[in-house]
Chain A
């Protein structure tokens, strides 16, 4: 074996099983890659000892002739939004810098129970809020991809799971976990030429995932291809009593049932996803995708999702509202950062509070000042912006006009999908309205950044399974993805259509190593 790190999850699993190489060799090879990939800033913490321990367990089981687990000896990256016992878990924030959970998230525990090892905790947008990985307290993640023609401007790996996408695309890890609230698995997958699936809301437990917007947050796998995603998802999903919205359903054997034959399937093309300003190469790729699924046996029909244009503004009420509520827990008391103004500053602030109150007495206490200082120092600008929007739309007098209204439009968006799925089985769309942009290109304008999630947010609002598969390159040589959206619980249909596209797209491009 020339280079083990060229292999994906399935090949590593099978190679260890058949004795082609040892789990130790696999772990060693990826640990070296991780250590050489620092220029990408994909990791916040590296955990070679964890990967080596899993490898040792796999090799010992083989030596003793014991049965292997589904992922024995396969090393993975873990998005730093999943609580890992005894290993720093930060959500890429200053607030949680140094936080070492005393418990393990359900999804990561399932992967360890399946025999996988951890190469490290992957960088992300702070509290998963962002589409470019520029909001991390621990610095931007850099995409391994570069535009052609000698343009070396660092590109965004997408967000929020940008550490995951960058590390997989650069072959530092064969697969990784991601989380998706409005597109945080699919958009980074599209930007870096890899695959990623967000399962149906409730498939993967949210227990131990740092909460952003609880009615939207879902974990899912990211990997080089569709089959690897199926394998990882099987080992991440499943009922968990610790998550009140976890679905009590058996986990299907997605890998075993994988088939690129779409005979008998009807695939809908939503007209509303052809938006003004979509680059022609994305429209062309979409056309190619339609031809590929037809070639795989599917019938293609036009469908309408009339409320599509309202999905983003709906999302930017609901997600910040839930975030402002969820992030209230960071109070500087129980865990995380505490900032306390000094005595002179406290006296000054209390006097200012008294001066502006009608009673002449301070309306705040030193405890309030501690909360305020902690949260000002612990949250980055984008997180503060979203908390403020969320607090505003939930505040007295505005709740119905914003939050209730958004939840009503959300119902209409979900109904659009229901109607579409009464005449078709799956939907095919582009994943993102552009290829990867340069770092700094959109960071000054929050709205321009938000618009990047235009194609991914609707499925999130409806809780539907959706995946991105790499399908082609733009004129600058950067990857583009196609998205497949399925009915609730039809991950199999989504994966199968993904496979059909993957088989026909023949996507083999990869970034040239510069790091």
Chain B
């Protein structure tokens, strides 16, 4: 499987990372090198193997459906790059 610069740009867009054309040119062979090395897993017969879901058998717990740490608006906003009137703010998305 070979990754070209268009694929790199598409993946970067999915990952929400801005990359320049030069970045895409540089990354394509790098990613191909790594993905090519990963391809060796194709040698392993996994036809009758279940994918791993938990390394140590452990049941997911349920908890009481009650508020545990509510009313922490100010704490939640404390590290926000921008907040106004008790909300996170983002750039305008609707013209």
> Looking at B38, B41, B49, B80, which has the most chain A CB atoms within 10 Å of its CB?
B38
**Is the Cβ of B80 less than 8 Å from the Cβ of A99?**
no
Asked if B46 is at the interface of the complex by the 8 Å CB criterion, the answer is: yes
Chain B residue contacts of A367, Cβ below 8 A: 90-91, 93
Q: Scan A97-111; emit 1 where CB is below 8 A from any B CB, else 0.
A: 001111000000000
**Is the Cβ of A389 less than 8 Å from the Cβ of B80?**
no
The verdict on A366 contacting B91 (CB below 8 Å), with A102-B79, A244-B61 known, is yes
Q: A338 to B90, alpha carbons, bound, how many Å? A: 10
Q: A322 to B82, alpha carbons, bound, how many Å? A: 28
- Given A335-B81, A447-B34, 20 more A-B residue pairs with CB atoms under 8 Å apart are A102-B78, A241-B61, A244-B61, A245-B54, A245-B56, A310-B41, A310-B44, A337-B81, A367-B91, A369-B18, A369-B91, A372-B16, A385-B27, A392-B35, A405-B41, A408-B44, A408-B50, A408-B52, A411-B49, A412-B44
Q: A201 to B58, alpha carbons, bound, how many Å? A: 11
Is the interface on chain B under 10, 10 to 19, 20 to 34, or 35 or more residues? 35 or more
Nearest B residue (CB) for A462: B55
Q: A42 to B29, alpha carbons, bound, how many Å? A: 33
Asked if B71 is at the interface of the complex by the 8 Å CB criterion, the answer is: no
A304-335 residues with Cβ-Cβ distance < 8 A to B are 307, 309-310, 313-314, 316-317, 324, 328, 331-335
Is the interface on chain A under 10, 10 to 19, 20 to 34, or 35 or more residues? 35 or more
Q: A127 to B82, alpha carbons, bound, how many Å? A: 24
**Is the Cβ of A388 less than 8 Å from the Cβ of B16?**
no
> Chain A's nearest CB lies how many Å from the CB of B9?
10
**Is the Cβ of B17 less than 8 Å from the Cβ of A372?**
yes
**Is the Cβ of B58 less than 8 Å from the Cβ of A202?**
yes
**Is the Cβ of B81 less than 8 Å from the Cβ of A409?**
no
Q: Scan A381-409; emit 1 where CB is below 8 A from any B CB, else 0.
A: 00011011101100100000010111111
The verdict on A370 contacting B90 (CB below 8 Å), with A384-B17, A461-B55 known, is yes
Asked if A443 is at the interface of the complex by the 8 Å CB criterion, the answer is: no
> Looking at B13, B18, B54, B93, which has the most chain A CB atoms within 10 Å of its CB?
B18
Asked if A17 is at the interface of the complex by the 8 Å CB criterion, the answer is: no
**Is the Cβ of A332 less than 8 Å from the Cβ of B33?**
no
Asked if B85 is at the interface of the complex by the 8 Å CB criterion, the answer is: no
> Chain B's nearest CB lies how many Å from the CB of A238?
15
Asked if B67 is at the interface of the complex by the 8 Å CB criterion, the answer is: no
Chain A residue contacts of B58, Cβ below 8 A: 202, 245, 247
Q: Scan B56-87; emit 1 where CB is below 8 A from any A CB, else 0.
A: 10101101000000001001101111100000
29 contacts between A and B (CB under 8 A): A245-B56, A309-B40, A310-B41, A313-B37, A314-B41, A316-B37, A324-B15, A328-B16, A331-B16, A333-B88, A334-B80, A366-B92, A366-B93, A368-B16, A369-B18, A372-B13, A372-B17, A375-B18, A376-B19, A387-B15, A388-B12, A392-B31, A405-B42, A405-B46, A408-B46, A408-B51, A409-B46, A410-B52, A447-B34
Asked if B22 is at the interface of the complex by the 8 Å CB criterion, the answer is: no
Asked if A371 is at the interface of the complex by the 8 Å CB criterion, the answer is: yes
Partner of A244, one of B12, B19, B60: B60
Q: A129 to B13, alpha carbons, bound, how many Å? A: 22
Q: A113 to B19, alpha carbons, bound, how many Å? A: 45
> Chain B's nearest CB lies how many Å from the CB of A394?
9
> Chain A's nearest CB lies how many Å from the CB of B60?
6
* Interface of chain B: mostly helix, strand, loop or mixed: loop
Chain A residue contacts of B75, Cβ below 8 A: 102
Asked if A488 is at the interface of the complex by the 8 Å CB criterion, the answer is: yes
> Looking at A336, A371, A388, A391, which has the most chain B CB atoms within 10 Å of its CB?
A388
**Is the Cβ of B82 less than 8 Å from the Cβ of A411?**
no
Chain A residue contacts of B27, Cβ below 8 A: 385, 388
**Is the Cβ of A332 less than 8 Å from the Cβ of B19?**
no
A398-432 residues with Cβ-Cβ distance < 8 A to B are 402, 404-412, 414
Q: A366 to B92, alpha carbons, bound, how many Å? A: 7
Chain A residue contacts of B41, Cβ below 8 A: 310, 313-314, 317, 405-406, 409
Asked if B25 is at the interface of the complex by the 8 Å CB criterion, the answer is: no
Partner of B63, one of A241, A373, A389: A241
Asked if A175 is at the interface of the complex by the 8 Å CB criterion, the answer is: no
Q: Scan A428-470; emit 1 where CB is below 8 A from any B CB, else 0.
A: 0000000000000000001100000000000001110000000
**Is the Cβ of B17 less than 8 Å from the Cβ of A387?**
yes
**Is the Cβ of B51 less than 8 Å from the Cβ of A411?**
yes
Partner of A379, one of B13, B17, B38: B17
Asked if A200 is at the interface of the complex by the 8 Å CB criterion, the answer is: yes
Asked if A47 is at the interface of the complex by the 8 Å CB criterion, the answer is: no
Q: A317 to B19, alpha carbons, bound, how many Å? A: 22
> Chain B's nearest CB lies how many Å from the CB of A132?
17
Asked if A152 is at the interface of the complex by the 8 Å CB criterion, the answer is: no
Nearest B residue (CB) for A385: B30
A181-221 residues with Cβ-Cβ distance < 8 A to B are 200-202, 215
Q: A395 to B7, alpha carbons, bound, how many Å? A: 11
Chain A residue contacts of B17, Cβ below 8 A: 372, 375-376, 379, 384, 387-388
